[in-house]
Amino acid sequence: MDKVYYNNTVAVVSIIEDRIRPYLREHNGDISIDSFDGKSLYLKLEGRCKNCPSNDITIDSFVRRELEGYIDEIHVISDIDGELLDLAKRILCKKEALV
């Protein structure tokens, strides 16, 4: 039977600890909460998940789904690593220069 939550903060922490973190740790990753105001949740992927090319998929199809399945009206926001974003921009600029 699933837990019933009466407080969004308790729910977020519990879902991350019980459902999300164990899955990410199986992949040598982790997750941390930057901030939460009751509606907007700012997350960071850590470990191997931080620089994984699939980290946006992990957030969209796993983390967000898990949280939204238990908490109404939550907005999950992930922090994309700045270095990874810079690398993507450099790659795209090189591709455009070749065209």
Could you tell me the residue range of the domain that residue 41 belongs to?
Answer: 8-98
Whether the per-residue pLDDT at 3 is higher than 70: the answer is: no
CATH of the domain at 52: 3.30.300.130
Nearest C-alpha neighbor of 33 from the set 67, 65, 3, 73: 67
- What does the angle CA 44 – CA 18 – CA 48 come to, to the nearest 5 degrees? 35
**Global confidence as pTM:** 0.71
* Average pLDDT of the residues of the chain: 82
Whether the per-residue pLDDT at 56 is higher than 80: the answer is: yes
Once rounded to an integer, what is the mean pLDDT over residues 55-61?
86
Residue 61 inside a domain? The answer is yes
Residue 3 inside a domain? The answer is no
Asked if 29 and 97 count as a contact pair (C-beta separation under 8 A), the reply is no
